[in-house]
Amino acid sequence: AREIHLKSRPAGLPGADNFQLVERSLPAPAAGQLLVKTLFMSVDPYMRGRMTDRPSYIAPFEIGQPLEGSAVGIVEQSAHPEFKAGDMVSHFSGWRDHVLVDAATANKIDTSKAPAEAWLGPLGIPGHTAYVGLLRIAGLKAGETVFVSAAAGAVGSMAVQIAKLKGARVVASVGSEEKARWVKELGADAIINYRTAGDLTEALKKAAPEGIDVYFDNVGGDHLRAALEAAKPRARFAICGMISGYNDEKPVPGPDNLAAMVIKSISMRGFLVLDHFDILPEFIADMAGWLADGRVTYRDTVVSGLENAPQAFIGLFSGDNLGKMLVKLD
């Protein structure tokens, strides 16, 4: 098997030298295990947090050990009665082309609903996160205006479409003209290219002259500041992620206008999708239906080869991906 290990802990933006490709042979699966050949693996912004040695909601990656994350693959050998060779599964032991997986942590995926890789995107954690953040955390209602940052990413592109399905007006921010065109196709009503827009707060106020009711935050930093300025009284903020700060070597002070929370009675609520598995069946039923009738569409950015997974991961921080960033294994 070929595996990507964490070689050293990055300082700031990770580089190729923080990763190492390692080859090893795997024994046959022990009782309760599956030998899985990985077809697609996910690279996600949150993985940056696990590369730093500090307490969090999930343990840090260990130096000299394989990285892990969501992946989909095909069972080659099974030592568990509920799985057989040929089953397609999702699992959490990505960054490896072959891996022994504890069957209790693998889930069979239904590739009649959507191709295997869609279980890492619209039907996987990104879709689930957008659904929970908008509907459960922010309680988005028809007729409201929602601002979505990193709107052409895996989570953001789902949030834009779910918000439109629910009858909201969507203001989206993205980092390129190509992404702006795509989120327009997805239904966004106003789009800000934050790299060319100049003052983001002014651009957002112009795009949402009456203010925003909901902010779906993927970025933090200047985007959060702008959303606080543009918020209507009693706006709700679903804090999903803050990618603009993930490579900071020291924590930076928060937005200088946080007092807007008091003045406008804004509620801001962070969430982890991991705490919302109870809603998974409802989400899968809704999303599979939306994909089937074409009301939700998706795109992936696919990087080929396990050896290129570190570069795919690093590319998340410069916006190399349109839709979900995936690595396709040979």
**Residue 46 interacting with ligand NDP (CB under 6 A):** yes
Q: CB under 8 Å to 242, separation ≥6 — which residues?
A: 217, 218, 219, 220, 221, 224
**Residue 225 interacting with ligand NDP (CB under 6 A):** no
Binding to ligand NDP by CB under 6 A, coded x per residue (else -) over 119-148, reads ------xx--x-------------------
State phi, psi for 315 to the nearest 5 degrees: -65, -20
Closest among 307, 286, 313, 284 to 107, alpha carbons compared = 284
d(CA 324, CA 150): 12
Side chain identity, residue 256: D
User: CA angle 47-328-105, nearest 5°?
Assistant: 55
Residues 263-292 that bind ligand NDP (CB under 6 A): 271-273
For ligand NDP, which residue of 3, 44, 213, 229 counts as binding (CB under 6 A)? 44
CB 37 within 8 A of CB 98: yes
Closer residue to ligand NDP in complex, CB, 180/329: 180
Residue 182 Rama label (left phi>0; alpha psi -120 to 50; beta): alpha
Give the count of alpha carbons within 13 A of 214, CB side only: 26
Smallest gap, in angstroms, from Cβ of residue 32 to ligand NDP? Answer: 29
Closest among 30, 105, 36, 45 to 72, alpha carbons compared = 36
d(CA 153, CA 57): 23
Total residues at interface with ligand NDP (CB under 6 A) = 30
For ligand NDP, which residue of 109, 155, 190, 228 counts as binding (CB under 6 A)? 155
- Region from 57-65, 70-78, 90-98, 240-248 binding ligand NDP, contact rule CB under 6 A: 240-248
For ligand NDP, which residue of 243, 309, 312, 327 counts as binding (CB under 6 A)? 243
Residues 61-100 that bind ligand NDP (CB under 6 A): none
**Residue 321 interacting with ligand NDP (CB under 6 A):** yes
Closer residue to ligand NDP in complex, CB, 35/72: 72
Q: Which helix (H) or strand (E) holds 107?
A: strand 107-108
Smallest gap, in angstroms, from Cβ of residue 213 to ligand NDP? Answer: 20
**What does the buried/exposed string (b/e) look like for 89-118 if buried means 16 or more CB atoms within 10 Å of the residue's CB?**
bbbebbbbbbbbbebeebeebeeeebebbb
Smallest gap, in angstroms, from Cβ of residue 276 to ligand NDP? Answer: 8
Query: What residue spans of 70-173 are helical by DSSP H?
Result: 125-131, 154-165
For ligand NDP, which residue of 113, 305, 319, 328 counts as binding (CB under 6 A)? 319
Smallest gap, in angstroms, from Cβ of residue 113 to ligand NDP? Answer: 21
- Region from 22-30, 63-71, 160-168, 170-178 binding ligand NDP, contact rule CB under 6 A: 170-178
**Residue 309 interacting with ligand NDP (CB under 6 A):** no
Smallest gap, in angstroms, from Cβ of residue 1 to ligand NDP? Answer: 26
**Residue 219 interacting with ligand NDP (CB under 6 A):** yes
In whole angstroms, what separates CA 14 from the centre of its chain? Answer: 18
For ligand NDP, which residue of 51, 154, 214, 235 counts as binding (CB under 6 A)? 154
For ligand NDP, which residue of 10, 14, 45, 94 counts as binding (CB under 6 A)? 45
| Binding residues for ligand NDP (CB under 6 A) | 44-46, 125-126, 129, 150, 152-156, 174-176, 179, 218-219, 240-241, 243-244, 271-273, 316-317, 319, 321, 325
